[in-house]
Structures are given as structure tokens and as C-alpha cells.
Amino acid sequence: AALLLALQVRLVMKAHSFIRENVPRVLSSVKDKSGTVHIPKISQYLYFLFAPTLIYRDNYPRNPTIRWGYVATKFAQVLGSLFYAYYIFVRLCIPQFRNSSQETFNLRGLVLCIFNSILPGVLILFLAFFAFLHCWLNAFAEMLRFADRMFYK
């Protein structure tokens, strides 16, 4: 459900950017009564939907070729991050809560359990950041030949 919600938010943000960039152009050409109204092509909009950016432009800087080795490396890093996060979760988080579920409820035990899970949780968040924002977006940017890789700015 959270993944679906995140996808919907991304699509709403992209639709907002598309409308915000194109409606003023269309309205100004209609207001000036010029004969040509610049409406983006469907292919430009579809490229924008899959490109790792939230700002619509008619043209983006493009790389001349796709480096498939780079794409494979990034997807391998995503898989490695997922396996490492799973390992951290199974080895460091689950045993804490499994032991506490066998005992009677104790506030002190619950607080200790949560504090013992903070460091593994932070590691999992760093892995999720690395896997999605660095590896996943760079892999899709490379497959789409998207040259502007300033994801962090």
C-alpha cells in the first residue's frame, strides 16, 4: 500500500509539473492569437514520466549511448542492498522482538528492545537510500540516456 501511495504521489507531482510548464505557453499563444500553439508530443510526456526528474522540459540532455555494464552493476547493487538489509533485519531486529514476545509485557524491556533496534534501522534506511536514490535512479537514467544526474541537488 505504501509503494502504491508513493507511486501515485510521484505521478501527481509529475502531472503538476507538466501542467505548470505547458499551460502558460498555450495560454500566451492563444492570448497573442498566434497561429501556432506549441503542444508537447505524447512521446515527450512519456519520456518525462519515466525519466528520473520532477521538472518537465521538452528536451533533456541525452547521452549518445547506453552503457549496459553500468546498468547491470547498478541493478546488482540494488539486489545486494536488499539482501544486506534482509540480513540486518533477520540477524539484529527480529531476535530482539522475538525474545520480548515470549516475556510478559514490560515497559523497560520494550524501550530496550527499541533502542537496540535503532542502529540496525538506521543502517536499513541508509541502504534503502543508496539502493533507490542512487542505484535504481541511475540505472533508469542510463537506460533512458538521461544525462542530467544531479539527483541530490
Residue 33 CB neighbours (<10 A):
6
pLDDT for residue 34 is more than 70:
no
Pick the last residue of a domain from 59, 75, 91.
59
User: Are residues 17 and 70 both part of a single domain?
Assistant: no
Same domain flag for 139 and 118: yes
> Is 141 in the same domain as 81?
yes
Phi, psi for residue 146 in degrees, rounded to 5: -80, 115
Q: What is the pLDDT of residues 58-81, one digit of tens each?
A: 888 888 999 999 999 999 999 999
Domain residue limits at 44: 1-59
Asked if 47 and 115 sit in the same domain, the reply is no
74 shares a domain with 38: no
Banded pLDDT at 38 (limits 50, 70, 90): confident
148 and 110 part of one domain: yes
Query: How many domains does the chain fold into?
Result: 2
pLDDT exceeding 90 applies to what percent of the chain? Answer: 50
Give the residue from 17, 38, 59 where a domain finishes.
59
75 with 48, same domain: the answer is: no
* Average pLDDT, integer, range 123-151: 89
DSSP state of 106: -
Averaged pLDDT for residues 16-23: 92
Tell me which of 9-13, 26-30, 42-46 is least confident: 26-30
- Phi and psi, residue 97, nearest 5°: -80, -25
Residues 29 and 78 in one domain: no
The answer on 127 and 77 residing in a single domain is: yes
DSSP 8-state class, residue 145: T
- Rounded average pLDDT over 37-62: 88
pLDDT given for residue 93 in this prediction: 83
pTM for this model (two decimals)? 0.75
Q: What is the pLDDT of residues 83-95, one digit of tens each?
A: 999 999 999 888 8
66 and 122 co-located in one domain: yes
User: Which letter does DSSP use for residue 65 in this model?
Assistant: S
Assess contact for 128 and 85: CB atoms under 8 A: yes
Cβ–Cβ under 8 Å, residues 145 and 66: yes
If asked whether residues 53 and 71 sit together in one domain, one would say no
Average pLDDT, the chain: 88
